[in-house]
Structure 1
Amino acid sequence: AARPAALEALGAHLDWLSAELARPAAGDFADPRIGPERFGRKLSLTLSAAADPDAILARAEADLDRITGEITEVAASLGGTPREVLDRLAADAPEESTILRFCAAALAAQTEFVRGHDLVTLYDDPIEIIDMPEINRGVAVAYCDSPGPLETAPLATFIAVSPVPGDWTPERKASFYREYNRHMVHNLMVHEAMPGHYLQLQHSRRFSGGTRLRAALRSGSFIEGWAVYTEELMADHGYPGEGDPRAVRMQQLKMQLRTTINAILDARVHAHGMTEPEAMALMSDRGFQEEGEAAGKWRRALLTSAQLSTYYVGYTEISDLAAELRATPGQADRTVHDRMLAHGSPPVRLLRTVV
């Protein structure tokens, strides 16, 4: 019954887009920032009706200080400051020609680690690691493209990894592979594949629920929150990556800084007028990001709104729920995580009422 109205709304939106493309940018449309009122409205639609942009920003900025203290401690155990240790790790760059094989090897190692530590139930749905199609490049370095939630055929999940753009200077290419060094790629594959998106979406597809609609709809903050949570989970259990678990922890904490800064960027760019130099300084100085990564994130912050907050907010919700479930005696990791993944991909506020 809702389909005709939905089609009419899509048609009206397409007409609006076509009209905007046909005229020169002017007024509000010259600036991609959507402003505090629209940002607050969009955040409430993306996360929950109770989402408070100012409260999220305040917690993220407090967490930025906390994580900075943690990464400083781990770096000291490795004999340096965070910048010095991360620079040493960044020098261990992967070969561009073998990056897909390296990702496949990391996935295999992570699968065995998850199995050996009994962290969560595993499935063996097909998976392929591929070069990212050109049309999708320029927003994320990698993504997980799973079969549709109602798909019944045994189709593969694709982990798409973006090559370095051909028009980049040698300096920017080198910066990219310093950011995505071998240790960071391990962390990236935890997020995108095992036990992150690939495994979580395998669980999600097996949920049948009371209606097909509930099985089909997915919460972005739940999906991204789970993936960020698993980075911390693997580091907490000593996943060795290239051999030293402390190197994995450094990259996981660096990624947690990035996740937190994502939420800060999202709010400050769209609702508080943050400038490009301010954003680049935040990412480079507080987040220890390479210039290429920071430049790409600035572009992403302008092209999207509310999406960059899903990682941080989703992570805090997932982490809080997992801690609550573990508080019950006898709740092993696998039991806790299977309970959390057994209901599709709902918003965490609704998942809590189910589990």
Structure 2
Amino acid sequence: MRKTRLSLMLAAGLGTLVVCQTPLVLAQAPDATTAQAGQDARFAQVAESLLMRALERSPEWSVRAGRYDNASLLTIPDAASRASDLAFAEAGLAELAAFDPAQLSASQRIDHTLLKNRFESTRWYLQTFRDWAWNPSRYNVAGTIALLLNTPYAAEDERLRTVMARLEHVPQYYAAAQANIADPTVEHVELAIVQSRGSLSVFGEELRQRIAASGLSADEQALFIARIDAARGAINGWTGWLEGEQKRLAAAGETRSFRIGEALYEPKFRYDVQSHYTAAELYQRAVDEKNRLHAQMDATTVELWPAYFPDSPMPDDRLERIGRMIDKLSARHVTRDEFFPEIKRQIPLLTDFVREHDLLDQDATRPLVVRETPEYMRGGGAGASISAPGPFNPTADTYYNVSPLDAYSDAEAESFLREYNHWVLQILNIHEAVPGHYTQLLHANKSPSLVKSLLGNGAMIEGWAVYSERMMLEAGWGGQAPEMWLMYGKWNLRVVTNAILDYAVHVLGMRQEQAMDLLRREAFQEETEAVNKWRRVRLSQVQLTSYFTGYAEILDLREQRKAELGDAFDLKAFHNGFLSYGNAPVPAIAELMAE
């Protein structure tokens, strides 16, 4: 990887285990537990060394993990960097191959699996998937710099000097990015343009004011300003080149499809999700779950109908009557101006509910900061998200990013607010905040295994957030009102149809009109939400399946533990135990909990 190196950290050698077996003298045979402990200790040394070396090689990953000793370095995404990454992955696999996972304890066996998956995935992405060559939205320097500026991990002047050092090679970074891109997709070019324009906000007047108010010398300030101007020039040059590509692609007619096809989809699903399902199996389970939810929601609709439509007969078609009931209820929502304040208002109420019902451990010392989504993060189709600190800086703020509605017309805003109506907005806050992503990631940062915390499994993370929605309603949030359960069904259909949509679009060739029918008629989504989801499925692959995969696996695990433990099953103990294993895949956590 091309960057100036900092000398670092651990150089762990790979020990050799020699076991002498003398069958005729049984008393001299090594104790199995002692032998395994020694093997575990040797593997733990190698695993930590691999992890720390990987962090050293990627300052950007290091910063996200809360580690800043190489934060002044900027990775240049060129061919030399990719060759170095591939060589490191191959060497890592060779080090892991020296250990037989069957001879390791359960926890270490999972770490071995996670590290192996990481290196095999790196190799596959570099050599086979090759999105570095067709997805220009991969390239953006703003995110890491914004983290450094907004995270008080050191004194202001030290952080500013770190940012100044990173800025030095920004023109080189975008030159390498431009050299990489060949045959991009129209969709990813559009996203890269939006996000690149947004990234300029990180290098705007606010940063100049901070520099002027700092303790940096006059020469340092002048150098900093010059590097900001050069970085802005490089970003504008990159954006201008992308706009040229956009025009070229529009004129070309035939362009690269955003659909990746089955040959790439199945291995991407395997590496990204790490489920016991194949992608095709998960798709079928999602189709079955959609039908089950329709039946359940129809029963609730029939129950509610006399109260909301006393003078209207129910339609014969169940999707039509469910849709009419949802449409009626969706009229209850906050105004455009109330949307952001209402989210902030609900967070402490959710926190109190979790505590009063003793559902899982929380940490009152780690508040959640609700903010508008930074501009450089907008444009990908997600209206809300969580930005959490890594395990090396666990006391840093966690941000709940909420995209403002400023860009929406009145009609678009109304559609959006109907989607996030009185009931659904509560479920969104459960998912993103308490006890969803925010709470889970607090637990993950306390896991004793850095491997499990850092090599985060998206299906586990998203699955927990989806599971927490159902768990909170089961515990009584919403007062068991049928309206809340109906809207939960609509929300849960989003998770299910995410999985259906992603596979159907990328593997089965689903067209836009078919996708909109699935989202609007079968999942009862508002026009704005459906349009955003169609945009999102064209910009990502597999990630939309992670919600349902993780949710289904967590729910299955909970019911399995209930059956095994009977009256001894304790919900809070299950939750705390599950969350204690960091961000490991759900099948791995199930194995650890069983042992």
Q: Which residue of 1 aligns with 2:259?
A: 33
Q: Which residue of 2 aligns with 1:144?
A: 386
| Cα distance in 1 for residues equivalent to 2:57 and 2:391 | 23
Q: Secondary structure at the match of 2:282?
A: helix
Matched-pair contact (CA < 8 Å) for 1:239–1:245 = no
Q: Which residue of 1 aligns with 2:419?
A: 179
| Cα distance in 2 for residues equivalent to 1:176 and 1:276 | 20
Q: Which residue of 1 aligns with 2:519?
A: 283
| Cα distance in 2 for residues equivalent to 1:244 and 1:49 | 32
> Which residues of 2 match residues 288-327 of structure 1 at below 5 A?
288-327=524-563
Q: Which residue of 1 aligns with 2:447?
A: 207
User: Displacement, 1:75?
Assistant: 2.1
Pick aligned residue for 2:352 from 112, 116, 123: 112
Is structure 2 residue 301 aligned with structure 1 residue 61?
A: no
Matched-pair contact (CA < 8 Å) for 1:172–1:292 = yes
User: Which residue identity is paired with 1:162?
Assistant: S
Q: Pick which of 186-195 and 31-40 moved more.
A: 31-40
Could you list the per-position Cα deviations for residues 73-108 of structure 1 after superposition, in whole angstroms to 9, with x for gaps in the alignment? Answer: 122222263223212221112122222221122212
User: Displacement, 1:19?
Assistant: 4.2
TM-score (norm 1): 0.91
Does the C-alpha gap of structure 1 residues 315 and 29 become closer, same or farther in structure 2, counting only changes over 3 Å? farther
Could you list the per-position Cα deviations for residues 189-221 of structure 1 after superposition, in whole angstroms to 9, with x for gaps in the alignment? Answer: 000011101111111111122xx3333221100
Percent identical: 30
Matched-pair contact (CA < 8 Å) for 1:190–1:196 = yes
User: Displacement, 1:326?
Assistant: 2.2
User: Which residue identity is paired with 1:141?
Assistant: G
Is structure 2 residue 477 aligned with structure 1 residue 239?
A: yes
> Which residues of 2 match residues 34-49 of structure 1 at below 5 A?
34-48=260-274
Does the C-alpha gap of structure 1 residues 97 and 33 become closer, same or farther in structure 2, counting only changes over 3 Å? same
Count of aligned positions: 349
| Cα distance in 2 for residues equivalent to 1:39 and 1:252 | 30
Matched-pair contact (CA < 8 Å) for 2:383–2:403 = yes
Matched-pair contact (CA < 8 Å) for 1:191–1:197 = yes
| Cα distance in 1 for residues equivalent to 2:583 and 2:338 | 33
TM-score (norm 2): 0.56
Matched-pair contact (CA < 8 Å) for 1:239–1:248 = no
| Cα distance in 1 for residues equivalent to 2:439 and 2:572 | 13
Q: Pick which of 20-29 and 196-205 moved more.
A: 20-29
Q: Secondary structure at the match of 1:96?
A: coil
Q: Pick which of 6-15 and 245-254 moved more.
A: 6-15
Rg larger for: 2
Matched-pair contact (CA < 8 Å) for 1:60–1:263 = yes
Pick aligned residue for 1:9 from 72, 76, 82: 82
| Cα distance in 1 for residues equivalent to 2:402 and 2:475 | 26
Pick aligned residue for 1:258 from 494, 508, 511: 494
Gaps of 5+ in 2: 1-49, 59-74, 76-80, 85-125, 127-131, 133-175, 185-240, 309-320
Q: Secondary structure at the match of 1:129?
A: strand
Matched-pair contact (CA < 8 Å) for 1:150–1:216 = no
| Cα distance in 2 for residues equivalent to 1:28 and 1:332 | 58
Matched-pair contact (CA < 8 Å) for 1:235–1:245 = no
Q: Which residue of 2 aligns with 1:225?
A: 463
Does the C-alpha gap of structure 1 residues 161 and 343 become closer, same or farther in structure 2, counting only changes over 3 Å? same
User: Which residue identity is paired with 1:149?
Assistant: P
Q: Which residue of 2 aligns with 1:188?
A: 428
Q: Which one has more relative contact order, counting CA pairs under 8 Å at least 6 apart?
A: 1
Could you list the per-position Cα deviations for residues 19-57 of structure 1 after superposition, in whole angstroms to 9, with x for gaps in the alignment? Answer: 456765479853111111111121111112754222111
Pick aligned residue for 2:404 from 163, 171, 192: 163
| Cα distance in 2 for residues equivalent to 1:107 and 1:95 | 19
Does the C-alpha gap of structure 1 residues 110 and 28 become closer, same or farther in structure 2, counting only changes over 3 Å? farther
| Cα distance in 1 for residues equivalent to 2:409 and 2:337 | 18
Matched-pair contact (CA < 8 Å) for 1:238–1:245 = no
